[in-house]
Amino acid sequence: MILDAVSRWLEREVRPHVKKLDQADEYPESMVEQMKELGLFGATIPEQYGGLGLNATTYAKVIGKIASVWMSLTGVINSHLIMSACVQRIGTDAQKEKFLAKFASGEIRGGLALTEPDAGTDLQAIRTSAKKDGDSYVINGTKMWITNGIHGSCFALLVKTDSTIEPRHKGMSMFLVEKGPGFEASRKLKKLGYNGVDSAELVFDNFRVSGDNLLGGEEGKGLQTALSGLELGRINIAARGCGLAEAALMDSLRYAQQRETMGKPIAQHQAIQLKLGEMSTRVRAAKLLTYDAAKIYDSGQRCDMEAGMAKYFASEAAVTNSMEAMRIHGGNSYSKEYNVERYFRDAPLMCIGEGTNEIQLMIIAKQMLERHPV
Ligand SMILES: Cc1cc2nc3c(=O)[nH]c(=O)nc-3n(C[C@H](O)[C@H](O)[C@H](O)COP(=O)(O)OP(=O)(O)OC[C@H]3O[C@@H](n4cnc5c(N)ncnc54)[C@H](O)[C@@H]3O)c2cc1C
């Protein structure tokens, strides 16, 4: 039912407006309101808090569908849901009661703030600090590339509560922070693609937050919380990759049957057929890997290797298929009249976000070596 509702909404309310919003890099206000009505801000939040309580498999299908029409919209909900997942996983009962229903309805929206100007992959090198002062903490530092940074109001923020302790992760904690004096989005970042959704720099200047907002009520759980959200996050990125790779394929199948050279549709030239064959296989393989990882996740088993494989393969499939779609569309691929130039700009982000593909390959190799020792 949810997939049907999302498909109808995409065709009626999203597809006709994507080109304009993408090219103007304009925030999709009305679509965000419609996503609230569809319940998407609560997609993976339990029903007891008013969410849809979807499992990872259904969620991946929803995300794939949305990404096949406009990938940017998936960022608006996914970063928000990773923030919610942090609360669901380690939040105290009081934190769950205070935030989850408002997250599910979309009344409070936000995201996850981990990355800093000098620390992305190496999260233990972050410098944003939270110093205890009575019943509250004072936060100073800068976060970079934060999705929903301008239009969101609440973020799961990774900080150092102790920068001297070893191992370093023991000094890392996570807070739920809502914008107020001392916490602002200082600028919207200009990007190659992923337009419409805002990516921002967040600055904390002696920002005071209540100790009640320390997630889990205990210092030292921050990195673990951030990393544990990544399995679902990677399945989400894999699903976005599937959606983009499929969109590039479907546009190419259509174009190749309409465009003629040498007296026949280009789809009848073997060179184009080889591309279509490879593109189709990539889409199918990416989907199977993604649904496989989601199924393992839903069964409650560890799936970092499978999620890594799905994320790696599906994101590379999106990059390759968007490039192949460009070649099939010839000169028209370079035109803003067609969608393929957008796929080509949006796809590389999937190789970077939620852990770069280089890191995914290292995770996969590490697991394989552990499973097959000599
Ligand atoms: C549009 C966009 C939206 C984003 N949204 C968010 C968000 O909402 N929240 C958030 O917190 N972050 C967000 N990010 C940040 C993103 O998660 C980071 O950019 C990503 O984790 C990579 O970190 P980095 O840019 O610091 O690259 P680096 O860590 O500097 O990596 C550079 C290169 O070195 C490689 N590398 C690094 N370490 C190793 C290693 N140990 N072994 C092998 N290779 C290595 C990497 O694979 C990469 O190829 C976003 C980024 C973008 C571009």
**How many whole angstroms from 2 Cα to the centroid of ligand 1?**
33
**How many whole angstroms from 119 Cα to the centroid of ligand 1?**
8
Burial of residue 218 (number of CB atoms within 10 Å: 0-12, 13-18, 19+): exposed
294 & 194 share domain: no
Average pLDDT of span 287-305 = 95
Give yes or no for residue 328 having a pLDDT over 90: yes
238 & 184 share domain: no
d(Cα 183, Cα 203) in Å, to the nearest integer?
6
Quick: pLDDT tens for 15-54: 999 999 999 999 999 999 999 999 999 999 999 999 999 9
Task: Output the six-digit token pair for 101.
Answer: 């229903």
**How many whole angstroms from 310 Cα to the centroid of ligand 1?**
18
Predicted local confidence at residue 100, as pLDDT: 98
Give yes or no for residue 14 having a pLDDT over 90: yes
Give yes or no for residue 125 having a pLDDT over 90: yes
Residue 264 domain flag? yes
Predicted local confidence at residue 231, as pLDDT: 87
120 & 19 share domain: no
Say if ligand 1 is within 6 A of residue 15 CB.
no
Say if ligand 1 is within 6 A of residue 123 CB.
no
Residue 118 domain flag? yes
Q: In percent, how much of the chain has pLDDT > 70? A: 100
**How many whole angstroms from 176 Cα to the centroid of ligand 1?**
22
Q: Give the per-residue SS3 of 119-187.
A: ECCCHHHCCCEEEEECCEEEEEEEEEEEECCCCCCEEEEEEECCCCCCCHHHHEEEEEEECECCEEEEE
| Crossing angle (nearest 10°) for helices 93-105 and 56-90 | 140
Say if ligand 1 is within 6 A of residue 112 CB.
yes
Helices (H), 39-151: 56-90, 93-105
Of 126, 83, 86, 90, which Cα lies nearest the Cα of 106? 83
CATH number at residue 309: 1.20.140.10
Report DSSP state, residue 347: T
CATH number at residue 205: 2.40.110.10
Annotated catalytic residue within 260, 354, 358, 370:
354
Of 276, 368, 283, 340, which Cα lies nearest the Cα of 317? 283
Predicted local confidence at residue 78, as pLDDT: 94
Give yes or no for residue 317 having a pLDDT over 90: yes
Residue 46 domain flag? yes
Task: Output the six-digit token pair for 225.
Answer: 């919380």
In sequence order, what are the residues at sequence separation of 6 or more whose Cβ sits closer than 8 angstroms to the Cβ of residue 186? 142, 200, 201, 202, 203
Predicted local confidence at residue 230, as pLDDT: 82
Say if ligand 1 is within 6 A of residue 99 CB.
no
244 & 367 share domain: yes
Domain count for the chain: 3
Task: Output the six-digit token pair for 236.
Answer: 């989400």
90 & 116 share domain: no
Choosing from 22, 115, 199, 354 the residue with most ligand 1 atoms within 8 A of its CB, the one to mutate for a pocket test is 115
Choosing from 84, 112, 121 the residue with most ligand 1 atoms within 8 A of its CB, the one to mutate for a pocket test is 121
Q: Give the number of the atom of ligand 1 that is nearest the alpha carbon of residue 353.
A: 17
Say if ligand 1 is within 6 A of residue 145 CB.
yes
Quick: pLDDT tens for 74-85: 999 999 999 999
Query: Rounded to an integer, what is the distance from CA 181 to the centroid of its chain?
Result: 28
Residue 270 domain flag? yes
Of 138, 132, 134, 133, which Cα lies nearest the Cα of 208? 138
Say if ligand 1 is within 6 A of residue 326 CB.
no
Quick: pLDDT tens for 168-181: 999 999 999 999 99
Q: Which of 219, 245, 273 is the last residue of a domain?
A: 219
Asked if 128 and 143 touch (Cβ cutoff 8 Å), the reply is: yes
Residue 224 domain flag? no
Query: Rounded to an integer, what is the distance from CA 146 to the centroid of its chain?
Result: 11
Say if ligand 1 is within 6 A of residue 149 CB.
no
Quick: pLDDT tens for 338-371: 999 999 999 999 999 999 999 999 999 999 999 9
Say if ligand 1 is within 6 A of residue 343 CB.
no
Predicted local confidence at residue 228, as pLDDT: 81
Asked about 354 being catalytic, the answer comes back as: yes
DSSP bridge pairs for 113:
157
Where does the pLDDT of residue 229 fall: very low under 50, low under 70, confident under 90, or very high at 90 and above? confident
336 & 351 share domain: yes
Residue 343 domain flag? yes
Burial of residue 240 (number of CB atoms within 10 Å: 0-12, 13-18, 19+): buried
13 & 81 share domain: yes
175 & 253 share domain: no
Q: Which of 175, 199, 219 is the last residue of a domain?
A: 219
Residue 363 domain flag? yes
DSSP bridge pairs for 138:
131, 208
Say if ligand 1 is within 6 A of residue 357 CB.
no
Where does the pLDDT of residue 126 fall: very low under 50, low under 70, confident under 90, or very high at 90 and above? very high
CA dihedral 122, 123, 129, 132 (to 10 degrees): -140
Q: Which of 187, 219, 251 is the last residue of a domain?
A: 219
85 & 116 share domain: no
- Closest Cα to atom 24 of ligand 1: 120
* C-alpha torsion sign, points 362, 364, 367, 373: negative
Burial of residue 83 (number of CB atoms within 10 Å: 0-12, 13-18, 19+): buried
d(Cα 232, Cα 255) in Å, to the nearest integer?
35
**How many whole angstroms from 113 Cα to the centroid of ligand 1?**
13
Residue 296 domain flag? yes
Asked if 132 and 101 touch (Cβ cutoff 8 Å), the reply is: no
- Closest Cα to atom 37 of ligand 1: 121
215 & 234 share domain: no
Predicted local confidence at residue 227, as pLDDT: 87
The pLDDT mean for the chain works out to: 97
CATH number at residue 46: 1.10.540.10
Provide the residue range defining the domain that includes 292. 229-371
151 & 116 share domain: yes
Say if ligand 1 is within 6 A of residue 78 CB.
no
80 & 23 share domain: yes
**How many whole angstroms from 96 Cα to the centroid of ligand 1?**
30
Choosing from 145, 194, 198, 230 the residue with most ligand 1 atoms within 8 A of its CB, the one to mutate for a pocket test is 145
Of 354, 226, 238, which Cα lies nearest the Cα of 292? 238
Say if ligand 1 is within 6 A of residue 199 CB.
yes
Rg (the chain; Cα; Å): 21
**How many whole angstroms from 201 Cα to the centroid of ligand 1?**
15
